[in-house]
Structure 1
Amino acid sequence: MKRVLFLILITNAFGSFGQGLESTFRFANTLYEQKSYQNAVEAYKRVLFFDTLSVYGPEVYPKIADCLFSLKKYQESASYFDLAYFSTQDSVLKDAYILKKISCFLILQQYDYAEVELLGMDETTDPKQQADKDFNEAILRFAKQEYDLSEQMFKKIVADTSLVNELFEKNKKISKISPKKAKVLSMIMPGLGQLYVGDVKNGLNSFLLSTGLLALGLRSAFINNPLDAAIATLPWFQRYYQGGYKKAELIAVAKIQEKRYKIYNQLLDEVDKNATLSK
């Protein structure tokens, strides 16, 4: 409803005052500056629709792309940054649009697309854009688990390289955590796999549940009939035993992701402190 009213408002305003494309463009810019991004997109698209000579494209495409990025519509934003790229001959602007397009792909976790765009870029003469390019590549390589390359790129944009070394050393230790090993350890002894990855609480719970059921079954076998004891306790023991070692593997995977995420955030914190990135 708001969108319909907005379009009516534009139509009436332009019809009443006889405003042309330039006025429409200025109006769209005002909305953009007011951070009314959705309305700005509608106004900019109106400019494009009536711009039969394609005069406004070089200015409008990047503005629409920025609006869509702010609205978290990253796929559409990437498409408009692509249009912006082909609408200009300015090499600095072209690089800026490609870098923003790469940011969209990284957010969308479309890492192959981001890599294609990065590989297609030449070395830029603008220091801020080069830093931005290095930053995007550092993120991309980390996301694709190419940690040696990621470390090299982070060292180019972070002043304290010793801290980068320290964080990637921690990352190497994380790589040694094996979900399969956690599963096997819990098959040998319930809870051992969870303890291996540092999850003491779940490890103790798994151990106590499994051993408790086993002890209950043995006690029942001595006091009552062994067959009755097996029928009563074995299904429960099997359930908790199998659930325990399967859960140990999942916990190991989750712990790896959690620890990597923590390192990744620490790296980003260092970039914010020390690196100079293009805005």
Structure 2
Amino acid sequence: MIALLLFSQFSLADSLYTHGYYDLAQIEYKRIFFFYPKLKNKPEARFNFATSLLNNGDSRGIQELQLMKNDFPERTHEINKSLAHYYIKKGDYYQARTLLAKTEEKDLLGFVYLLNGQYDDARTLFLENGNQALAQEIVSYMRKPKKSKETATLLSFVCPGAGEIYAGNIKLGVMDFLLNCGSGYLIYNAMKQKKYVDAALVFTFLFQRFYLGSIYNAQKSVIERNEIERQQWLEYVKNRYYP
């Protein structure tokens, strides 16, 4: 009877884990380990429990996997790979690189280099690993013209809004252009009526803000545009080479 109950609990926990219900799976594994402490010696159950914690964003999964390295040294490769996946999701590429360097997962390590913007390192690693196609993809991406922050700055310096339009943010560019034109007209009108104090106030509190804001928006738009294109390229690489 006890054996049947134990089997059913394990089956439930494993089924929940397999189908991605990690929050429920970790509860079931906890229950099993509480009532049957000796079952912590089963590496598969411990591993599933730890990765369930990680998939739920619980950092205790890291501690559990680190303990498993001591208890089950033969699973070190698999543990390092799981920890690396966790750090990749968290955006901690340094930790992911450190762990993957201890494994044979060279293609995954190369992808971490790409995520971290280390294109030359990624290309070198892929070439060493015989992945010529992906190495060439990196070369093509690096040669592809990117929007220049300096060009955008110069354009908005000469004509407010032009830098934003150059970066592809047409709506913001038109708005900045109109705001600068409007504040410029207010200055002109005040000067025409010899209201020099009003003109100075408009220049100080409106025109300068809109003019400098246009330059800042141009720089920001270029950064955002290039990042969007980078993320699109990374998604393409992920779908094609890491299905």
TM-score (norm 1): 0.70
Give the residue type in structure 1 aligned to 2:93: Y
Query: Does 2:107 match 1:135?
Result: yes
Fraction of identical pairs, as percent: 19
Equivalences, count: 237
1:177 matched to which residue of 2? 148
1:45 matched to which residue of 2? 30
* Contact 1:197–1:252 (Cα < 8 Å) also in 2: yes
* Contact 1:182–1:194 (Cα < 8 Å) also in 2: yes
Q: CA deviation at 1:103?
A: 0.4
Q: Deviations over 1:71-115 (max 9, x none)?
A: 43263433333333333243xx43122111100011111222112
Structure 1 distance, partners of 2:100, 2:234, is 20
1:246 matched to which residue of 2? 216
Structure 2 counterparts to residues 103-118 of structure 1, below 5 A: 103-118=85-100
Structure 2 distance, partners of 1:74, 1:102, is 15
Structure 1 distance, partners of 2:100, 2:240, is 23
2:240 matched to which residue of 1? 270
28-37 or 233-242, which deviates more? 28-37
Q: Among residues 72, 79, 82, which one is paired with 2:63 in the alignment?
A: 79
Structure 1 distance, partners of 2:151, 2:67, is 50
2:84 matched to which residue of 1? 102
Structure 2 distance, partners of 1:84, 1:40, is 19
Distance 1:147-1:270 versus aligned 2 partners, 3 A rule: same
Distance 1:206-1:37 versus aligned 2 partners, 3 A rule: closer
Gaps of 5+ in 1: 1-16, 124-132, 274-279
Q: Among residues 196, 217, 233, which one is paired with 2:202 in the alignment?
A: 233
Distance 1:26-1:67 versus aligned 2 partners, 3 A rule: farther
TM-score (norm 2): 0.79
2:44 matched to which residue of 1? 59
Structure 1 distance, partners of 2:166, 2:53, is 45
Gaps of 5+ in 2: none
Structure 1 distance, partners of 2:122, 2:178, is 42
Structure 1 distance, partners of 2:39, 2:12, is 21
Give the residue type in structure 2 aligned to 1:137: L
Query: Does 2:105 match 1:167?
Result: no
How large is the Cα RMSD of the aligned pairs?
Answer: 3.1
Distance 1:153-1:29 versus aligned 2 partners, 3 A rule: farther
2:11 matched to which residue of 1? 29
Structure 1 distance, partners of 2:117, 2:48, is 34
* Contact 1:28–1:40 (Cα < 8 Å) also in 2: no
Q: CA deviation at 1:153?
A: 4.5
Q: CA deviation at 1:53?
A: 4.7
Q: Deviations over 1:127-164 (max 9, x none)?
A: xxxxxx22321232123221112234456586744545
Give the residue type in structure 1 aligned to 2:167: V
